[in-house]
Structures are given as structure tokens and as C-alpha cells.
A and B are shown apart, each in its own frame.
Chain A
Amino acid sequence: MSSSCHESGQPAAPLTQLPQVALVGAPNAGKTSVFNALTGLNAKTGNYPGVTVSRFAGTCRVGDRKLAVEDLPGSYGLDPVSLDEQVLVDVLDGNGMRAPDVLLIVVDATTLRRSLGFVAQVLARGLPSCVVLTFTDELLRRQGAVDVDALSQALGVPVVAVVGHRGHGIAQLREQLLDWRDWPTPVIPPPVDPGERDAWVESVLSYAGYRAAQPHGRTRRLDAVLLHPILGTVVFFAVMVLFFQTVFTLAAPLQEGVEAFFGVLSGWVSVHVTNPWLSGLLGDALIGGVGGVLVFLPQIMLLFLLISLLEGVGYMSRAAFLMDRVMGRVGLEGRAFVALLSSFACAIPGIMATRTLPSARDRIATMMAAPLMTCAARLPVYVVLIGLLVDPAATFGPFGLQGLVMFGLYLLGAVAAMLAAWTFKKFGDRRGQPTPFYLEMPPYRLPSPRAVLLAVWGAASSFLRKCSTIIVATTMVLWLLLNLPLHSTEQMQAAGVDTADSAAVSAYVVDHSYAAEAGRLVAPVFDPLGFDWRINVGVLSAQSARETFVATLGQVAAAEDPEDPGDALRAMTYSDGPRAGQPIFTAPTIAALLVYFAFALQCMATVGVIRRETGTWRWPLVAFGYLTVAAWLMAYLARTVTSFFVG
């Protein structure tokens, strides 16, 4: 072990040489609160080798020493049924990575009876351990009781009561961690035999004077309504409506703020940067591209805020329970609903949430469906295209028509996802064993603001990272492709371009650029959908990340008429081919484009996550293939139907 490399007062010691403290416990036991309280905000997230089970590690300073602290995946037992639980067992075994030196077993005092089985399994491993008892305040409030000292005597290891979100007991825990080398261990490891283990649990509980908490009054009363077959469903739909209303209405003023900021910025650039190349690069590519996408930051943060609030309050598992029957229609279970709901924010957390599904078949079916849910990255595209398609003043009954079209697209995504899940479940791998549906209904709790903020911050920072890397790179490359090769003034004059008219010059440059060549190259594929080469460039660039489409269209339009990209799009006409001169953005084309974006898997990050979660290239390729084909077919259908109605 690490005794030789541990030296107190050596803050410079690399993380791997510090004693490793690992937090283990059931999901919802308050592990993360304890972890946050011990490590503060210096936690690092990463992945375990080979799988996308998030790994949270940080350092904790006790006295003059430092300890490396790791938050292991939540689990109810050490007989792995899911990937997370397998990771937990691998870490404890030191399988492929260094085993921890010290364990903190986090146990929810209100579920002590059930949790002791897990404690027994962990203690049987013989590592120095300390039980961290959480939610003792709630136990007391619900007329329960437990004697912490007696529990410690009975278990044979130290027990510290902690109220994680308030920080109570954290000081004692740190003190306890100071001399982990002297912790008592059980004289005899707890029994392995299930009968003997039950007897052990019973005896320990009775010695510790454990009195189970009364059923949570508030939870019981709320559940009577929220899990009611009719009332509960009504409330569920109300929550969903409110959810999307909040995301769209509350975000609007914030988005205008971001827009205004970038407007000012680009104005400043066009005034102060005189070099046309540099000003084009900065104004069109950087500010136009990144700004166009950053506008959606408020919406994405709101989406994640609401999802983590619903999760923290405890409503998410109720929603999963209510949705179990609906999901059952397509052969999935309630938890798949949570994964799909998260996919409204982004398919990546949705696909990662499939880990909670015990059946591999369900996991695959859900992963194949998740990219169809309308993720936040589609929003920018939808907003721009719907703006072109529908007059903002048009109404249908009390609702704005634009909003209704948006709702329709969300519905389309959800229905398509359900159908996809059903298909993959039915015709997918048939060897999987059916697994029982069990779902923990945690009591309703006020979510810890810190955990919620951390979730929102994580989403925002990963979105910002995406903007500053993938999207900046794509827009820059695209800008270059749209502006190269260079044309001399003589060349342009020879082609009959009025070189004094800057708009005509940019139109000529773009029309003869490398990007245009690429767009024309794929034209045969997209011609039936009504896309011209400029849309093709947008669709191709959106293949890495959907939001790029908006930035690309902005660039193309701005290049043709830098004064007003919005109207420019509407006025854009086919520059060549049989339809030359006709407007591009007609209702059938926009409809086809919207539907194409609803289906296509234009997100390399999603492909990467499916690869990591399934461990093979097979499933990401299947997803990519079937979604692209479906996108084309459905877009063609949409175009045909819309043409029929519009005439």
C-alpha cells in the first residue's frame, strides 16, 4: 500500500501518491453531498478506463495532510447488475486501477435496514472503513431513532453522523479521517450467507436502538396525488407543459441580452478593424458563428436547471413510475423515460442515463431512440427555419403558430423516438433476459442548491467548451472554404462582376469557393429535397454539431448581402441548375429541412458516446445509418406533402 509514500505536510505530492479515500453507497444516500463537503469545488470529473461511468475525484485537506477522495458510482450491492456496479466492484478489487486505501460507506439513516446488507458486503472486503450516516435529521423528524455509538460498537467500525447539505458532522468526519490508519476493523467480517446476514442486520439494528422512520407524511400525501392514475397523469402533463413553457418564455429576454451583446461587439469590429480579411474572419466567422450559437446558452442552462430540480426534488422517479405503462407499450420501462426526457436537453446525458436500465436490450433500444428527441442543439436551427416559414403574427386559436410548429416538431421527435425504441426492442438482440422493474421512490426533499448549481454549471461549461472548440473550428474552416480560392480583380472583371459593388464581389467569391464545390458535389443526393448547394454546405457543416448550421447560413447569407442576413435568407434564390432564379426557402424546402434536422444524427459527440457506452462501433454505425436514411426519406415525404398543400 501507500504507507511508504505518504508523508504529512507534503502538499506537492502528486494525487496518485496520496492515500485514496473512496466514497461508496446507494444512489440517493447523499454521497455526492458528502463528497462536495469534503473536497469543496476542486473536484475533477473524468471517466473510468473503458467505460463512460463518470469518475469524480478531488482532494481533501485534513490538518496538514492531504487525501485523495473519490466518489464511486452508487450501488445497492456488490453483485453487479449494471455497468456502474461493475465499475464499483472493479475499483474495490483494484481491477485495472489502484484500489482505495480507505472506504467511507455512506448510508441513509432512513433506509438503514436495507443499507446494512450493503455495509456487510463492503465490510467483508476488509478495507479500513468508516460508516457515514446521512439524513439523521430527517430520521429524527420522522420519529425514528438510532444510537450512533451503539451502531459503531455493533459494526466494529467508526460511525459519523453527517448532515451533508448543512455541513453538520463534516468537521468530525475530517477529524476521523486524520487517523484512518488506527480505525478499528470488525473482529470478524460480517457474514456472507444471506440468512446469517439478515440475522446480523437484525441484531445490529436492535443493538443500535434503531427505530425506523415513520412514512414521510409529506411524501405520502403528495404521492397520493402525484402517483394517482388519473390525477397523477394530469399533474404530470401540467408539469411537462410548465417545463417547456419555462424553458422558452423565461429564456427569451436572456437570449435577447446575449444577442444585443454580440450585436454591439460585431458593430465595434466592423468600425475598428479595417483589414477586410480580419474583419470578415472576426465579424462573420467568430462573432457571427459563435454568437449565433451562444444565444442558446440561457435556454440550455434553464433546461438543465429544471431537469436537475425535478431530479433533486424526487419527481423524476415518480415521472418514471407514471410513464412505466406508456413506455411499456413500446417495450421499455419507466426509467427509459428519464433518459429520453434528459435527451430533450442533450442526447449525451440521456444516453448516459441509460446506465440505470438493468437490461442491455432496453439500454440499446433507448440509446437508438435518444438522438431523435429534440435536443437543445436543434433549437437554434428550428428557431431560424420556423422564423422563415411562419409569420410571427399568425395565430391558431389562442396560440402563436410559430410556437405550435415548434411543439409539433418536439412531438414528432418524441413519437419517432418511441417508434424507434419499439422497433429496436422488437427486432433487436433477443437473447437478453427480462429483468424485474424496481424503482426507488425517494422522499420528496428540497434539492441542495449546490448540487443543482453544479449540474447547471457542468452543462453550461461543456456547452461553452463545445462553442469554443468544435464550433469555432468549424466556423473558421468554413469561412476559409467560403472565401478561398482568392480571385484577382482582373479575374472578376473578366467574369463580368462589378468590382466596386462589395455585395456582388462577395457573392462571386462564395459562389466560386471550395465550399460551393463541395456543396455542388453532394447536390445529387439533396436535390430531391430541394436543397441548393448553400444549404448542402450548411447540412455538411452541421454534421459535426447541429448548431453550426445557423452559423453557416449566417455566413453564406451575410456574404451575399452583409446588411441583413435574415431577409437575405428569405430572398435567396437558386443560383444555378434547372430551378435557377426561384426562391430557395419555400415552404416545402423549409419543411424538408426541418424534418431532416428532426431525424438526422448530426452530432459527432453523440456518436462517440454511443461508441463508449456500448463498447463497439456497431451501434453508433447502426444509429448513424438508420437515422440518416430516415432523415432523407422523411424529409422527402415532408416536401411532397407540403408541396401538395401549398400547391
Chain B
Amino acid sequence: MVPLHPQRCADEPDLLRWVIPADLLDPVGVVAAAPPPLAGLLADGTLAELRLEPAAVVTRLGPRRSWRDQGPRVRGALHAALGEPDGWHVVPDSGARAGDAVLRTLAQQLLDGSVGRFAAAHGGRIDLVDVRDDVVTVRLAGACNGCPAARSTLHGQLEHRLRQRYPALRAVVDHAARSSASRTTDR
């Protein structure tokens, strides 16, 4: 069975994010067709929408239903459907860079969480400046600014963790380094 667990999405109780292995399904967009059990849930209205995001399937619950009741069914259907990755048909998002919004959320999550706390414990701060074309730009502040270990925090911690959840990530760059035109592009 494909490793899988659900996570709530902040402020949107009818959305559920099913975290799946990053390399399982590729494009980002609305799922137009899925293998039978999952398609059935869309057809009978249990699920209102099905989206594929990097390393996750996002499901929107149909009206007047609860996750507590429907969750196990959805999970079972997902397990079955993820067993046949070829049966998925995804319409990639137009505007190409819809992935950036996801990447921004994930990066912010890490900076608010363990990575941010790690930096804070060393007297520093990492601010998110921009996310564009799968590149995350941050600003190192406080003790991080000019600290030789900051680079290893940035790549070892933030970039590594982010890539686990968003495999298409191209780079995490330091705003200061970028303005002086030396871009890190190592993958």
C-alpha cells in the first residue's frame, strides 16, 4: 500500500490534504479522471473536488458530509486508486505557476515551525521574501546575517525538508546573495 496520511488545511475544514510520496504522481492540477473507487466518490457527491498537489492529493468534501463519517471510505478509495497511477488524468493548472502558491505555504510552514525555531535558538531569523518559478528566496536576519553556518542551515535544513515535500523545488536562495548575483542552483 502507498504510504498515506491526512492533514487538515488551515481555515478550510472541508479540505483535506492527503500526503503521499513525492515521486508518485506528477503534474499539479485538478483531477479529471481517477481509477474507479475514487471516481465513484466524485460521482456520488461524497467528494466535491479532487486536486493533485506536489506530494499530496487534496480532497474537498461534498456538502452536508463529515470527514469523520466519510474519511475511512475516502482513504480506502485513495489507497485503491493510488495503486494504479496510470489511471489518473490530471488537467495541469493554467498560468503555469500555481505550484508556487503551494511552495509558499510549505516554506512558510517550515519557517514558522522547526526551521524557524532552530534559527531563533541561535539568535537569528529567516524571512520569506519571494517564491517564483520553484525558487524560494529568503532573507537572513539577526545573527544569521553573515553567519558562516547560515548557509548550512539554509540548505541542510530548509531546502532539504522543502524538497521532501515539494520535489520540483529548484533552489532556496539568500536574498543578499541573489542581489549580488551569485545564485545557488545546486540540487
Contact = CB atoms under 8 A, between A and B. Distances in A.
Contacts of B165: 207
Nearest to A207: B19
A184 B8 contact: yes
Contact of A154 (B19, B76, B109): B19
Q: Report the interface size class on chain A.
A: 20 to 34
A199 interface: yes
A84 to B, nearest CB: 30
Dominant secondary structure of chain A at its interface with chain B: helix
A202 B1 CA distance: 10
Interface in B83-99: none
A154 B56 CA distance: 12
B24 to A, nearest CB: 11
Given A149-B114, A187-B6, A206-B21, A195 B68 contact: no
Contact of B7 (A154, A199, A202): A154
Contact of B114 (A147, A188, A203, A206): A147
Contact-residue size bin, chain B (C-beta under 8 Å from the other chain): 20 to 34
B20 interface: yes
Contact of A150 (B16, B67, B114, B117): B114
B79 A209 contact: no
Given A196-B75, A196-B79, A188 B67 contact: yes
Contacts of B21: 203, 206
A353 B35 CA distance: 54
Nearest to B68: A188
A148 interface: yes
A156 B7 contact: yes
A223 interface: no
B3 A202 contact: yes
A204 interface: yes
Contacts of B68: 187-189
Given A150-B113, A150-B114, A156-B8, A188 B75 contact: yes
A65 B165 CA distance: 41
Given A198-B1, A199-B3, A209-B164, A191 B19 contact: no
A203 B3 contact: yes
A156 to B, nearest CB: 7
A82 interface: no
A198 to B, nearest CB: 7
A203 B5 contact: yes
B8 A206 contact: no
A617 to B, nearest CB: 47
Contact of A153 (B1, B7, B16, B76): B7
A195 B2 CA distance: 10
B139 interface: no
Interface in B137-171: 161, 164-165
A603 B165 CA distance: 64
| Most chain B CB within a 10 A radius of its CB, from A195, A199, A200 | A199
A454 B79 CA distance: 49
Interface in A448-477: none
A324 to B, nearest CB: 36
B63 interface: no
B185 to A, nearest CB: 24
B99 to A, nearest CB: 19
Interface in A185-240: 186-191, 195-196, 198-200, 202-204, 206-207, 209
A189 B76 CA distance: 13
A195 B72 contact: no
Contact of A191 (B8, B20, B72): B72
A148 B68 CA distance: 25
B71 A188 contact: yes
B4 interface: yes
Contact of A196 (B7, B76, B113): B76
A198 B117 CA distance: 31
Contacts of B72: 188, 191
B68 to A, nearest CB: 7
A206 B161 CA distance: 11
Given A147-B161, A199-B1, A200-B4, A187 B16 contact: yes
Indicate the member of A150, A189, A196, A203 with the most B CB atoms within 10 Å.
Answer: A203
14 contacts: A147-B161, A148-B114, A150-B161, A154-B7, A187-B8, A187-B67, A188-B16, A188-B68, A198-B1, A203-B20, A204-B5, A206-B21, A206-B164, A209-B161
Interface of B: 1-8, 16, 19-21, 67-68, 71-72, 75-76, 79, 109, 113-114, 117, 161, 164-165
Chain A to chain B: the 3 pairs with minimum beta-carbon distance, closest first: A188-B71, A203-B3, A149-B113
